[in-house]
């Protein structure tokens, strides 16, 4: 241990959207929290417990943001493929 070690108290918050049944959307919850939290004590990220429609929309939103990000090296190819697929399907 070095001189810079800190002892911090961890406090688990009870959030109204917390659920024990959904263990696959942890990343979606985390990204939504990072997107909406600004250090305020009263904070509403817009999530509700077991709101599967909202989670589905957030999965689509975050997937789109990641895939079409300018830092994604495969961005142009993905957009071209999506455009081609859309033209074929519509």
Any domain includes 79: yes
Q: Decide: 59 and 89 in contact? Cβ < 8 Å.
A: no
The boundaries of the domain holding residue 72 are 26-89
Any domain includes 2: no
pLDDT tens string, the chain, 90 residues long: the values are 566 677 888 887 788 888 888 888 889 999 999 999 888 778 888 898 888 899 999 999 999 999 999 999 999 999 999 999 999 998
Any domain includes 4: no
Any domain includes 15: no
Any domain includes 37: yes
Across 33-62, b (16+ Cβ under 10 Å) vs e yields: eeeeeeeeeeeeeebeeeeeeebeebeeee
Q: What is the pTM of this model?
A: 0.69
Q: Is the dihedral of CA 40, 41, 46, 50 positive or negative?
A: positive
Any domain includes 71: yes
d(CA 25, CA 30): 9
> How many domains does the structure of the chain reveal?
1
């Amino acid at each position: 241990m070095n001189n810079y070690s800190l002892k911090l108290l961890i406090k688990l918050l009870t959030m109204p959207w917390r659920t024990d049944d959904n263990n696959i959307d942890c990343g979606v919850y985390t990204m939504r929290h990072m997107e909406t939290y600004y250090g305020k004590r009263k904070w509403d990220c817009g999530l509700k417990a077991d709101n599967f429609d909202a989670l589905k929309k957030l999965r689509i939103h975050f997937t789109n943001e990641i895939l079409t990000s300018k830092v994604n090296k495969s961005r142009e190819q993905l957009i071209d493929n999506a455009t081609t697929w859309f033209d074929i399907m519509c």
